[in-house]
Amino acid sequence: MISLQGTLSVYNPLTRLTMFESGPDHATGSVVFIGGLLDGYHALPYLPYLSKALADQLGFSLIQVMLTSSHMGYGSSSLQEDVRELDVLFTFLREERAKTRLFIVGHSTGCQDAISYAIYGEHRAAIQGIVLQGPVSDREFMASSIDMYGKYLRLAQRMINDGKGQELMVREVDIAPVTAYRFNSLASVGGDDDMFSSDIPFEKMQALFGQVKTPLVMVHSGKDEYVPDHINKVQLVSQLTAACPSSLGAAVLPDADHAISDQASQVRFCEVVVQFLRQVLEQVDQFERSQQESFHELTL
């Protein structure tokens, strides 16, 4: 059973969206966790370990965020809407909670949110680092696991062409109500959510990830059940890492599934996150010291 003590706060009074913060009271450094499809609070088994590691080793808190797209809401939302809601969250964290050191950990489809925020977010310059845990292709998984994938994709595209992209598709398509736009975004080649597919040409990967200026690290699971067997995982990890100029590397947890369910892999994941944050924080501190020294020399 996942159990965490913390504080539940409303960060968006207009929509009553909330965040859950665990760890030190009044921490100025925080990691914002963004879950994947169907996720909500306490969705991943490693969160208690991550919260403790951040608190004990860095004095950071862990913030889980509720978005309109959380739980069953993803089908009627979009990455663009998530970015707008994250803008409100980061405004709240910086202005109301005096946060000065902010990082993002994205899980699964939350990795698309993290990349989207790094490119389009209002506060993207304030995000000091990003961890992508389980960045996988929704499209490739859907194509390999949904019997009527082709039929549903053609239906979604026909609805979009008819100006009905924001209307819901037939009930049988998904467990959650889903618009034609969001199904196409997740399932089509070049859809807004199509960022981590193995068949994306390297030049297109570079065009996308080249827009990311925030330091990041990707953490892949060696036994990820959402990566089809025919995909060369080693090659995919290498391509994704090489396509992103701001990448500080990648880690592979050989025994981990998509959610990192085994404890040994959870411990290793937390080690990777803490090590990455320390590396980025050291670089930031060095830069700030050099700026201060340069200013001091100019005033002499």
**Residues 72-127: tens digit of each pLDDT:** 999 999 999 999 999 999 999 999 999 999 999 999 999 999 999 999 999 999 99
pTM of the model: 0.95
pLDDT value at residue 2? 72
Q: What is the pLDDT of residues 63-86, one digit of tens each?
A: 999 999 999 999 999 999 999 999
Residues 198, 137: contact at Cβ < 8 Å? yes
Of 78-82, 93-97, 164-168, 290-294, least confident by mean pLDDT is 290-294
154: number of Cβ within 10 Å? 11
pLDDT at 295 over 70: no
- Bridge partners, residue 105, by sequence: 33, 131
pLDDT value at residue 181? 98
300: number of Cβ within 10 Å? 4
pLDDT value at residue 285? 84
> What is the average pLDDT value for the chain, to the nearest integer?
95
pLDDT value at residue 91? 98
* Mean pLDDT, range 44-59, rounded to an integer: 98
Q: What is the pLDDT of residues 265-277, one digit of tens each?
A: 999 999 999 999 9
Q: What is the pLDDT of residues 27-51, one digit of tens each?
A: 999 999 999 999 999 999 999 999 9
Q: What percent of the chain has pLDDT over 70?
A: 96
pLDDT value at residue 298? 56
The dihedrals phi and psi of 249, each to the nearest 5 degrees, come to 125, -175
pLDDT value at residue 286? 86
The dihedrals phi and psi of 52, each to the nearest 5 degrees, come to -65, -40
Q: What percent of the chain has pLDDT over 90?
A: 92
249: number of Cβ within 10 Å? 12
pLDDT at 168 over 70: yes
Of the two residues 281 and 287, the one the predictor is more confident about is 281
Q: What is the pLDDT of residues 194-217, one digit of tens each?
A: 999 999 999 999 999 999 999 999
Rounded Cα gap, residues 234 and 42, in angstroms: 30
